[in-house]
Chains A and B, each alone.
Chain A
Amino acid sequence: MKKIIAALAVTVGLATPALAELTFPSLSYRTGPYAANGIPFADGYADYFTLVNERDGGIGGETINMIECETGYNTEKGVECYESTKGEGALLYQPLSTGITYQLIPRVSADGIPMHTLGYGRTSASNGKVFKWIFNYPATYWDGASVAIKYLLDENGGDLSGKKIGLVYHNSAYGKEPIRTLTELSAKHGFELLELPVDAPGQEQRSTWVQVRQQKPDYILMWGWGVMNQVAVQEAVNIRFPMENFIGIWWSGSENDVKPAGPRADGYKALNFHAAGADFAIYDDLEQYVFSTGKAAGAGDQQGTVLYNRGLYAAMIAVEAAKKAQEIHGTAAITPAQMRDGLEQLEMTDEKMTELGLDGFGPTFAASCENHGGSGKAAINQWNAETGTWEVLTDYIQSDQELIQRLVEEDSLAYAEENDIELRCQ
């Protein structure tokens, strides 16, 4: 009995910090209404770390210790995961949830642990002057909104006046992010913005799409996640909305989102800031060191999908930033604060991507003290239902930096004032 109690006390309490290795927590969700999107990302994230451990023996000789913690996309569980992993020497958080990100921004800033929100989270955190510990490169939601509108401008010969654009969004912090930018853009370009919120988790969207039928928007943008994406694509198919006028953000553009709607989802478009598919040199290494040795995470059936690649990309950035940090500080066993320096001085060039076996995988960008948001480039992909692949339609489109910088400045300075934050990089 004593032993059981002791064991319980140990398991419930804190495990002793293991600082001999580099710890990267993975706040994943493999259960719940967002699991379809959470699983491929978590698998990719884990597999990249496994690859680095197996192939290179870790980063600079230090093995990577990835601790996975299930959040279920739930903020309360996210807090539990954060608290339980931060004591183990966590170097970087990537929560893959905008809600949890908002939760963690003040906490990681107080605890001095960097957080990287790859194309999600709080957009104005791209202002490094205010958000010292938060990074959201290579692109933010506001970049996404701007790129989508730029693309539509191109399609319409540079004029969107009189057009009606619907925004179908997850009624949460995540889905509401682009509204501010889109409102500004609608005033600038003269289109009408129609807001169509969908309550979480988004299985019930009948009324939203009835509204679409009544209001007949010319284009629809979507900020959806999890089961909401699949339902929205299916509903759009049901009301025969022209799929090529339906554009999702990068979180609404995975195979899982379009496949359930079958061949009629053909033509659906989505933004992306990296490539899909398995035609990269890195997949040879993955095959050799991870897949064939049975070390793949999860069921091992997600390889080459959009979100699996995004998981790889997130882990790759974490590893590259850690390398940078080791280089700056001349030590292999880096601390979270040193990791932050690595993230801030990270530069992604074409040569580096090629070297990593990710030739042309994502846009180039360079972070700096002020800029934690990357270059803000994204490409438009289109779903080909016949071949079951995403086809890249455009080059990486640059977002309207002038407008976004202004909005970011406005929002982040308001945050700085509210929370008494002294501006950095002066």
Chain B
Amino acid sequence: MLYREAGDFKSSYAEDSQTFPIRLDRRAYVALVAVALVVVPFVVNDYWVNAVLLPLLIYAIAALGLNILTGYCGQVSLGTGGFMAVGAYGCYKLMTAFPDINIAVLVILSGLITAAVGMLFGLPSLRIKGFYLAVATLAAQFFLVWLFNRVPWFYNYSASGQISAPERTLMGFRITGPETQAWATYLFTLAFVFASAWICRNLTRGAIGRRWMAIRDMDIAAEIIGVDPLRAKLSAFGVSSFFIGVSGALFFAVYLGAVEVGEAFGIDKSFLVLFMVIIGGLGSILGSFLGAAFMVLLPVLLKNLLVGGLGWPTDLAAHLELMIVGGLIVFFLIVEPHGLAQLWRITKEKLRIWPFPH
């Protein structure tokens, strides 16, 4: 009744193909962006930014990246952790080599480095697919972690093998290092998230996104209708790795401040991001956000509820948390195998015809 297309007239092609065809959606979207941009920076404190918002936003970028590769182009990847490490170590090397360049440029550059590395490791995808490709990307994961652990040049020969982000600023505001303001790091990350989501959305509905989806749905058929698999697959690997690299750089420089490759970018991270994409919804921009929110927020929420709210022992809460999160994953995948985004899509369909379903 309220949520409907009726009366919302489109009079140009641009309007016809906009992302949110329903007025209510558009308004909700604008309101959300406005709140995130204008209200949140004034109310956040260190806890909210460092424990909740930064991981959420950064994982959302990683999930967007992986979604392009796995969700849109159909290439399964288990190398996300390794590619995030490339972004992080690239950012670290750039930060220490060029202290005067502003941090936003360095984050983008580390994304580009990761894109190159991603395309290199994407080469096997031209010959193999499915589970075999998953194994090839798994090799990338282990190789990259080994490399950053093994070659001291990457961590500037520090005694412990840790990399620590020095203080860097953007327009006079501290973005990395210990003495940052909560709102500054938040807005900096938010800008990257906004740009990433915007680029991803527009790439995936344009010609290049259609090529990716054609390859995903059936590569031989795609080849017959004139899609070049080499370019389609490698571009997917490149674009996907770019976003994953950006998220790795932010993860290291803005969020944690000091990382160690084995602990921060191990195989667990690859699985975590893959789960986000699967739970959120393959081939959906919204799904990447929902998946990241599910995997990042739920444990924090449960912890605060069980330990902070109910006063239960921390170990019991930690074990329960694993069980509850695991149980919910199974539950959501049974209820809707296509992820949370599909659940949202169905809800919207139902809302459109409410209260007169046919």
Contact = CB atoms under 8 A, between A and B. Distances in A.
Interface in A105-125: 105-107, 109-110, 122-124
Contacts of B313: 30, 68
Nearest to A15: B308
B89 to A, nearest CB: 15
- Interface size classification for chain A: 35 or more
Interface stretch (A168-176, A251-259, A388-396): A168-176
Given A7-B309, A76-B256, A107-B257, A69 B314 contact: yes
A327 interface: no
Interface stretch (B45-53, B193-201, B220-228, B336-344): B45-53
B50 A79 contact: yes
B358 interface: no
Given A28-B314, A83-B47, A75 B149 contact: no
A109 B177 CA distance: 11
B304 A79 contact: no
A200 interface: yes
A109 B178 contact: yes
B324 to A, nearest CB: 14
Interface string B246-265: 00000000011111101110
Given A7-B309, A80-B300, A110-B179, A173 B260 contact: yes
B162 A12 contact: no
A172 B161 contact: yes
Given A69-B314, A199-B262, A200-B262, A173 B47 contact: no
Interface in A73-102: 74-76, 79-80, 83-84, 86-87, 98-99, 102
B43 to A, nearest CB: 10
Nearest to B322: A31
B257 A103 contact: yes
Contacts of A400: none
Contacts, number: 125
A177 interface: yes
A79 B266 contact: no
A37 to B, nearest CB: 14
A12 B304 contact: yes
A126 to B, nearest CB: 13
Given A79-B51, A80-B300, A173-B160, A106 B309 contact: no
B177 A11 contact: no
A79 B256 contact: yes
A411 interface: yes
B55 interface: yes
B57 to A, nearest CB: 14
B317 interface: yes
Given A75-B264, A122-B160, A84 B256 contact: no
Contacts of B259: 75
Of all A-B residue pairs in the complex, the 3 with the closest CB atoms, nearest first, are A30-B315, A106-B178, A110-B178
Interface of A: 7-8, 10-15, 28, 30-31, 35, 39, 68-70, 72, 74-76, 79-80, 83-84, 86-87, 98-99, 102-103, 105-107, 109-110, 122-124, 171-174, 176-177, 179-180, 197, 199-200, 298, 411, 418-420
13 contacts: A11-B305, A11-B308, A14-B47, A31-B318, A69-B307, A70-B315, A79-B255, A84-B308, A99-B162, A105-B258, A171-B149, A419-B166, A420-B167
Given A83-B47, A102-B162, A106-B257, 18 more contacts: A7-B309, A12-B301, A28-B314, A70-B307, A70-B314, A75-B263, A79-B51, A80-B50, A80-B300, A83-B50, A83-B51, A84-B47, A84-B51, A84-B308, A99-B263, A122-B160, A177-B159, A419-B166
